[in-house]
Structure 1
Amino acid sequence: MSFRSIVRELREMKDGIGSMSKRVSEGKHWRSRTRSQIAIVPDEAPSSTPSIPQSRWANLPPELLLDILRRVEDSETSWPARAVVIFCASVCRSWRDIIIEIVKTPEQCGRITFPISLKQSGPRESPIQCFIRRDRATSTYYLYLGLVPSESERHKLLLAAKKIRRTTNTDFAISLVADDFSRTSTKYVGKLRSNFLGTKFTIYDSLPPCNAPVVQPSNQSSRRFHSKHQPPRVPSCNYSVGSISYELNVLRTRGPRRLHCVMHSIPGSCIKEGASTPTPTQKPLSHASNEQYSSPLLSIKGKEPATEFSSTSLAKMPSSVQGEEEPLILKNKAPRWHEQLQCWCLNFKGRVTVASVKNFQLVAAVNPSHNISDAEQERVILQFGKIGKDIFTMDYRYPLSAFQAFSICLSSFDTKPACE
């Protein structure tokens, strides 16, 4: 037998074995679909995962990727177009890291991008203008980004709050979505709690303050928080970051409500020229993990911080307990009496159109020793007022965040028989 005939027989044998193995694999594929009604054979699963396009995009040169994403950030300045920046951060890990470095805080750019922006300070010059819609039937409050409601009802929802009445107090649970206010949810942001009379409120944050000391919890609490029964990325506790108090009006004197706020997480010197506030830079709130934080104020049971602060008790604290600097104190701007209208008036610059006892403007209560200019002392940090039935405007600026401003405005919705 010649060499050429031997090669021809081996080639025919190889083709026959190949066709036989193909028929066998097709039979296995057909039987697997018949038995389990699954279109993909388990052996083919790894090749159908979407990791290939992600790795291809991730292999772009870092310089080119940085230039592209920077141009995307500069071109997207408003909602809903700004959602493109969010989509770029969702492509892969390298894209997300670069986007987080490129995107500036609301204090620097005046725009809200990621959920963590709701915990960061607002811009210094022009305030961020929002409005609140109240739903009396469900006791729910919605914070939207924008000037006023439009007919299309397509607004950017920033935060939502649910009013929960209890025997001794009232809670406002604050969430990123409008249908989930559970404390065990990853959408949970914080809450506002009032006392029995509705004259004192405490703002609780799901994330600890940036300047809070971090200590390792005890073994008992560690087992409690890292047990298998608790799902990951669930806020374990609330951290007190501010308090609000309304002055009592026992004699029923004529005039608007008087309130002042103590922001424990914001230093009082932040309003000086060139000063700044502690800025949270963690991942978006819905992806925050409780394993990264532990607080010295945390009780063993993990329900509430062991210590709650009020404006009066904070003033009596020694400097070692308070920290190196005093907290920021906000007070409502005193209105003037209008003789012709026979009412108290404030200049809201057209943002408030309906007279209400809930309307207020907050300015910083500055210590005379801080040498702050008069213009800075009169600068309105937060203003809240009514413009229609169950529609209110909320404008905030540095050093408050959207979450802190929304919590202060929610305190105005609670019933206060001792203050009016």
Structure 2
Amino acid sequence: MAVDLEEDDDANGLKQSCWANMPPELLREVLIRIESSENKWPARKNVVSCANVCRSWRQIVKEIVNRPEVSGLLTFPISVKQPGPRESLIQCFIKRKRSTQTYFLFLSLTQALADDGKFLLAARKFRRPTCTDYIISLHADDMSKGSSRYIGKLRSNFLGTRFIVYDGLPPHDGAKMAKSRSTRSVGPAQVAPRVPAGSYPVAHISYELNMLGSRGPRRMQCTMDPIPASSIEPGGMAPTQTEFPLSTGESFPSTPFFRSRSTLVEKSGPEPSNNNQADRPLILKNKSPRWHEQLQCWCLNFHGRVTVASVKNFQLVAAPPSGQTGPQYDKVVLQFGKVGKDVFTMDYRYPISAFQAFATCLSSFDTKIACE
């Protein structure tokens, strides 16, 4: 039932089918019932299949399905670019494959720490003479920058202490594309000429150097450039992408988006202006750990989501402007931690997306001798 949609419905022969000619009122009622009943994966794949029947079905399904901010559900591929829910964490996990330097992000389907999840994103590590790139893709087996499934990348400096997250699509109107000497490769998976290849900086991540060798976890700071600091306030808003261009996955690819786990720098971001705190970008910082006397180690409360001690483990909260306090600055926006040799949990919430959270967690995999 799931098929790729083209711009011209006549091309796939569905425009004149009986499915496309159902009365709109009846069709909407049917699709509303399907969407409300299939509230968990893998059953939710039926909602994606309905959106691929024809243009009229797709339009109604897109109107019915709420964004993750409201529903807490990841339905279509564009959901990984949209902010998570405001009042809860979306639970995911990352599986690392050392032999190929690839990383796979899955949505947790159960409370088990390492279940067979719903595939969301993949990344592959590429070492360069002066930096390291992590190419992030919607497809588990197609992780090249020239791929139609390419959605962004993470780039580090030579020491692996500073990172920039680039989005393949503009995060908001008026976003400026970063200058780059390299362009997306030309080959069988070349993107369509009508969709320009983009690299838009959306986050700057920096790790604090530990020159004195003091004990404790790594310390990091993330500047989320397109997200205003006011987004974590009640009623605050973060920019939300609504769709992919047709040639980069707008047609809801059900197979690569749902896949079992069993079957991938430049200077840091601009300093916030003290004169206009409302317009400054959101800054995330480490939640301070506490020293556990009995265990003789630094501890954070991951509420059972992390089981193995590691310098890679972290929790990020919003950094308050000078002189301000509030419960919004105590909420964990992103947490990442180890549960097995090559399995890590990743939980995130509004105002960041799964893509931004995944890229931030990828930065933790690099060895950072100067920071530990």
TM-score by length of 2: 0.84
Aligned pair 1:270/2:228, yes or no? no
Aligned pair 1:55/2:11, yes or no? no
**1:354 corresponds to which of 296, 304, 308:** 308
Structure 1, gaps ≥5 residues long: 1-47, 216-228, 290-306
For residue 402 of structure 1, what is the amino acid of its counterpart? A
CA distance, structure 1, for counterparts of residue 225 and residue 69 of structure 2: 19
Report the CA distance shift for 1:85/1:309 in structure 2 as closer, same or farther (over 3 A): farther
Aligned pair 1:250/2:215, yes or no? no
Report the CA distance shift for 1:404/1:56 in structure 2 as closer, same or farther (over 3 A): same
Task: Tell me which residue corresponds to 1:190.
Answer: 152
Task: Tell me which residue corresponds to 1:231.
Answer: 192
CA contact under 8 A between 2:44 and 2:75: conserved in structure 1? yes
Q: Deviations over 1:96-121 (max 9, x none)?
A: 11111111001100000000000000
SS class of match (1:97): helix
Deviation at 1:407, TM superposition (A): 0.5
Deviation at 1:232, TM superposition (A): 3.8
Q: Deviations over 1:159-218 (max 9, x none)?
A: 111011111011111111121111121110100000011100000000101243589xxx
**2:271 corresponds to which of 295, 304, 314:** 314
Deviation at 1:279, TM superposition (A): 1.0
For residue 123 of structure 1, what is the amino acid of its counterpart? P
Task: Tell me which residue corresponds to 1:9.
Answer: none
Equivalent residue runs for 1:7-406 within 5 Å:
51=13, 54-146=16-108, 147=111, 148-150=113-115, 154-212=116-174, 231-232=192-193, 236-283=197-244, 286-287=248-249, 310-311=268-269, 313-315=270-272, 325-368=279-322, 373=326, 375-406=327-358
CA distance, structure 1, for counterparts of residue 206 and residue 361 of structure 2: 12
For residue 285 of structure 2, what is the amino acid of its counterpart? K
Higher RCO (Cα < 8 Å, 6 or more apart):
2
Task: Tell me which residue corresponds to 1:414.
Answer: 366
Length, aligned pairs only: 335
SS class of match (2:48): helix
CA contact under 8 A between 2:74 and 2:80: conserved in structure 1? yes
Deviation at 1:132, TM superposition (A): 0.6
Q: CA RMSD in A?
A: 2.7
CA contact under 8 A between 2:125 and 2:135: conserved in structure 1? yes
CA distance, structure 2, for counterparts of residue 273 and residue 210 of structure 1: 21
The structure that has the greater radius of gyration is 1
SS class of match (2:133): strand
Report the CA distance shift for 1:259/1:100 in structure 2 as closer, same or farther (over 3 A): same
Identity rate, percent:
60
For residue 280 of structure 1, what is the amino acid of its counterpart? Q
CA distance, structure 2, for counterparts of residue 248 and residue 91 of structure 1: 53
SS class of match (1:248): coil
